[in-house]
Structure 1
Amino acid sequence: MFVKECSLGIDIGGTKIAAGLVDRSGHVLKQQTYSTPKESKDRILDVLRETVITFSNLAKEAGYNINGVGIGTAGQVNYDIGRIISGTSNITDWNNIPIIDYLKQYTSLPIYLDNDANTFAIAEYVFGEARGTDNLIGLTLGTGVGGGVISQGDLIRGEWGGAGELGHMTVNMNGPDCNCGSKGCIEVYASGTGIANRMKERLENLESTDLTEELKVYQGNRNQLTSKEVFSWYEAEMPVAKETINLAILALSYGIVNMIHTFNPSVIVLGGGLVREREWIATTIQEHIQHKGMSSLIGTVDIRLSKLGYDAGLIGASSQVWFQK
């Protein structure tokens, strides 16, 4: 009897936890989504336990063989011991949590835990736009900006797993404060939160005569403004929105030049909700970087948009199982 090999991927986000069985080709075989509990970290761990048990049973019923469990999560992860060191404000008390030790009580399968930007880079290397190269950078652009670097086929993790915080690379030392404690990071310009905040600053400084009726609504209630509105206005050729998005792309372009100088990749893959289905962002950055930095390094790099879609986080988490050497 033929038994299909697969891995169990679990992607932990601020609003949802996506879990699924993924085969060696990156195809999602079975999938479920759960709301991320807000009560406590213990409730999140309960969901993870139930997920492992549920999918182990589903795999057995379907005749699948699970080779391992891969978990991706926001925050800083000590990869060697499988512990979340510092989480995210979007997930309740998501700090200093020994996820792997906890789950080992409920499964004998090998378990891998990493930062979700690292798992994105792995997914692009194993299944996605960076197949065929051993030197790549994965950038996730959403609420924040995450990064993962694979050099000579190995993921760069640093001393304990905290390497690759590329969104916190400073591109303007006199820029706005970043929540990491630095100033002018890529994230304060090119993340969803950063784009919204820069647009709010512009609205605050605009004269009433320069405001459309739509902008007046948001000027009076700026907390309701998100990057979604800013992109919509950009596409409608609204000058103040074009300035904001152009600044985001310029900051990201300079950051990418710094990354190229540091890591000498051949491919940089952009993913995340901010760039999904916006191929023009990759094209624009590709054009920008050709006129900046060392031509011997810059000229050999392709900027590509991820094609993994809405399942990128799940596929990325699961791909850790196949990435082990």
Structure 2
Amino acid sequence: MEYSLGIDIGGTKIAAGIMNREGSVLIKKTFSTPKDKKDAIVQLLENIIFSLSETAKMEGKKLVGIGIGTAGQIDFEKGKVLSGTANIKDWNDVPLRDILSKKTDLPIFIENDVNVLALAEQQLGVGRNVENLICLALGTGVGGGVITGGHLLRGAWGGGAELGHITVDMNGPLCNCGFQGCVETYSSGTGIARMMREEIKSYPESEGNSELLYYQKHPEEVTSRLVFELMSAGNVVAEKVVNTAINALSFAIVSMIHTFNPSLIILGGGVLHEGEWFIQKVRKRVGELGIRSLVDPVEIKGTQLGNDAGLIGAAIQPWVYGVDVGVK
């Protein structure tokens, strides 16, 4: 049986493992993402590749390639990180494949992290055999991946499907991308926390809610998880914030449906850990909007592969694209 080495590079952690074509992760290791220069990340990746390659060799497992998923705009053909993300320091203009290919003879594939998430779900998850789908990851930001006609949509060089930066309000808050009113500024974990801080900034003491008054004085402690907890406890301010996030996401999704005509929308990411109720609310709101012939047939589902989806998507690249295509 053949195996692949997959690496999923995130803002806080890097997951790596050895996987077979059916998506079974046989070996998995997790590392903290280095916080200083890109050289430290590259060095860690080199160490991971060496260590797992040696482990595979000792256990008699044949590796056919290495697949990497990372946040940022990726030139897939060149295997290069062109523009990174604010969540990973100094992660720009990194010729990653050229660097790593000096340490291994295996073909290397490098792709955007949400593209590989979409790939994983389309190959092995909830979107299995679906030819036209959109995958959205709601976490620190909002990432997107589009599969149309059975193939990932990359655009001219790989920067396509930055769906988190569809604007839902041209007069909205400034996004870290430089645009205004992006859905990411409302529906990401960061956006939800931001809106809550703004709501409680002017919360009147006369209302007497000691919890909100506490966070008014300690805004740095406000997280999206806290907002959901407060909402579950019946806090109307938190409920307003979450409803705004759901509404913004729903409007963005309808714009995506109008643009790409998918049959399936897949929602994943840390924000979706809140449960199926969130997806149900999005499904209901989307159903109230847009062109009926386009919107009505679309299913909206959560990811099936869970926390390992990014790692699995990274690892299956050699089989999806063909090991003979991987540039060494």
Q: TM above 0.5, one fold?
A: yes
Q: Is the counterpart of residue 160 in structure 1 residue 160 in structure 2?
A: no
Match of 2:121 in 1: 124
**In the alignment, which of 300, 304, 311 is matched to residue 308 of structure 2?**
311
Q: Is the counterpart of residue 257 in structure 1 residue 254 in structure 2?
A: yes
Query: Hey, what's the Cα distance between the residues in 2 that align with 1:95 and 1:160?
Result: 16
Structure 1 residue 228, shift from structure 2 partner = 0.8
Q: Moved runs in structure 1, 4+ residues, more than 4 A?
A: none
Match of 1:136 in 2: 133
**In the alignment, which of 31, 43, 47 is matched to residue 44 of structure 2?**
47
Match of 1:300 in 2: 297
Structure 2 counterpart of 1:218, one-letter code: Y
Q: Is the 8 A contact 1:41 1:93 kept in 2?
A: yes
Match of 1:213 in 2: 210
Query: Hey, what's the Cα distance between the residues in 1 that align with 2:239 and 2:312?
Result: 34
Structure 2 counterpart of 1:311, one-letter code: D
Q: Unaligned regions of 5+ residues in structure 2, if any?
A: 323-328
Q: What is the number of residues matched between the two proteins? A: 322
Match of 2:80 in 1: 83
Structure 1 residue 287, shift from structure 2 partner = 1.1
TM-score for both structures, normalised by structure 1:
0.96
Structure 1 residue 212, shift from structure 2 partner = 1.6
Change (3 A) 1:211 1:155: farther
Structure 1 residue 274, shift from structure 2 partner = 0.8
Structure 1 residue 269, shift from structure 2 partner = 0.6
1:144-293 → structure 2 map (5 Å cutoff)? 144-276=141-273, 278-293=275-290
Structure 2 counterpart of 1:126, one-letter code: Q
Query: Hey, what's the Cα distance between the residues in 2 that align with 1:277 and 1:235?
Result: 10
Query: Hey, what's the Cα distance between the residues in 2 that align with 1:182 and 1:128?
Result: 33
Q: Is the 8 A contact 1:276 1:309 kept in 2?
A: no
Percent sequence identity is: 50
Q: Is the 8 A contact 2:228 2:274 kept in 1?
A: no
Q: Is the 8 A contact 2:203 2:212 kept in 1?
A: no
Structure 1 residue 38, shift from structure 2 partner = 2.0
Q: Deviations over 1:109-132 (max 9, x none)?
A: 111111101111111111111002
Q: Is the counterpart of residue 13 in structure 1 residue 10 in structure 2?
A: yes
Change (3 A) 1:211 1:18: farther
Of stretches 308-317 and 152-161 in structure 1, the one that deviates more from structure 2 is 308-317
TM-score for both structures, normalised by structure 2:
0.96
Give RMSD over aligned pairs: 1.1
Q: Is the 8 A contact 1:140 1:146 kept in 2?
A: yes
SS in 2 for 1:276: helix
SS in 1 for 2:27: strand
Query: Hey, what's the Cα distance between the residues in 1 that align with 2:164 and 2:89?
Result: 22
Q: Deviations over 1:33-61 (max 9, x none)?
A: 11212232111111111111111111112
Q: Is the 8 A contact 1:69 1:111 kept in 2?
A: yes
Q: Is the counterpart of residue 66 in structure 1 residue 71 in structure 2?
A: no
Match of 1:109 in 2: 106
Query: Hey, what's the Cα distance between the residues in 2 that align with 1:277 and 1:109?
Result: 39
SS in 2 for 1:69: strand
Structure 1 counterpart of 2:136, one-letter code: L
